[in-house]
């Protein structure tokens, strides 16, 4: 979601939520949507009681991830800026300023190293303040891609992707900016990158810029295991990412609680991008 790997041509992304209400998305946060229309239930007062025997409560109503960023066309999520924050603390995709991850994979061009850093900068996109994340790719030490991504979290805990500014390099010179997009510009729309409460079967758009950025994701499991250089992890959220722009190409990504992405796998090509340091 955050990065594009060299052995597959997929980048990650996001969407928005219904105006005036909070949408859930599908990551592991525990917050849930409270329905304004939900009735309050109080326990009847026993005879002779001097006061109520129970405090009235409301029941949260979780919203399926796909309903916030549906795969269906037309795709037209509404964004309520008041429902978002640049403070991203979703358990499976925390993005606190200063956090850093380093990944490594073997590709046909050489050893690719990717460094992802959460900066202390923010940017307002479509009225939403987003945290800025920098993603730098090098192959055998040579800079291949430098990207800025922008994320925000809705009040239920779902993490949304609001755009990216990506530059590919060839011998030190920018060779392409394909894949760049910003929500609200040229028809581009945000999508979910991590639901608030991921469940197998959740399907959602991660981004939408027609013809340029159309990644989609599905939660396949929340109980996976994986071993990478940093550690062995269990209870991982595993997602499948695809895009209609590259039919037949997919990535499987594994997210650990409190850490974020630890492994990306290309099932067809056998490539693995592993977390090697943080």
Can you give the pLDDT at residue 117? 98
CB 91 within 8 A of CB 257: yes
Q: For every residue of 138-155, which 3-state class applies, written as one string?
A: EECCEEEEEEEEEEEEEC
The radius of gyration of the chain's CA atoms, rounded to the nearest angstrom, is 20
Encode pLDDT of 38-75 as tens digits. 333 444 444 444 443 333 334 445 567 888 899 888 99
Specify the higher pLDDT residue, 16 or 96: 96
- Going from the C-alpha of 189 to that of each of 184, 215, 270, the distances in angstroms are 6, 12, 32
**Which domains does the chain show, CATH number per domain?**
65-277 (2.40.360)
Of the pLDDT bands very low, low, confident and very high (cuts 50, 70, 90), residue 23 is: very low
Of the pLDDT bands very low, low, confident and very high (cuts 50, 70, 90), residue 15 is: very low
Query: What value does the mean pLDDT of the chain take?
Result: 83
């Amino acid at each position: 979601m955050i990065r594009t790997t060299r052995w597959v041509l997929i980048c990650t992304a996001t969407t928005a939520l219904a105006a005036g209400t909070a949408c859930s998305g599908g990551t592991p946060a525990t917050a849930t949507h409270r329905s304004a229309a939900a009735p309050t239930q109080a326990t009847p007062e026993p005879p002779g009681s001097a006061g109520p025997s129970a405090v009235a409560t409301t029941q949260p109503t979780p919203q399926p991830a796909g309903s916030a960023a549906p795969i269906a066309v037309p795709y037209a999520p509404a964004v309520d800026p008041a429902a978002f924050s640049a403070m991203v603390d979703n358990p499976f995709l925390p993005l606190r300023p200063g956090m850093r991850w380093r990944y490594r994979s073997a590709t046909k061009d050489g050893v690719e190293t990717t460094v992802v850093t959460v900066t202390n900068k923010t940017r307002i996109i479509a009225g939403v303040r987003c945290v800025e994340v920098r993603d730098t790719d090098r192959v055998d030490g040579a800079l291949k891609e430098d990207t800025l991504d922008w994320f925000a979290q809705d009040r239920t805990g779902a993490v949304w992707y609001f755009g990216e500014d990506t530059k590919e390099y060839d011998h030190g010179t920018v060779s392409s900016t394909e894949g760049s997009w910003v929500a609200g510009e040229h028809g581009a729309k945000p999508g979910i990158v991590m639901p608030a409460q991921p469940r197998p079967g959740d399907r959602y758009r991660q981004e939408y810029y027609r013809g340029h950025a159309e990644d989609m994701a599905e939660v396949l499991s929340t109980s996976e295991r994986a071993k990478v250089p940093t550690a062995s992890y269990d209870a991982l959220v595993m997602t499948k990412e695809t895009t209609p722009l590259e039919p037949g190409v997919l990535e499987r990504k594994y997210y650990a609680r409190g850490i974020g992405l630890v492994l990306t796998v290309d099932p067809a090509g056998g490539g693995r991008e592993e977390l090697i340091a943080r």
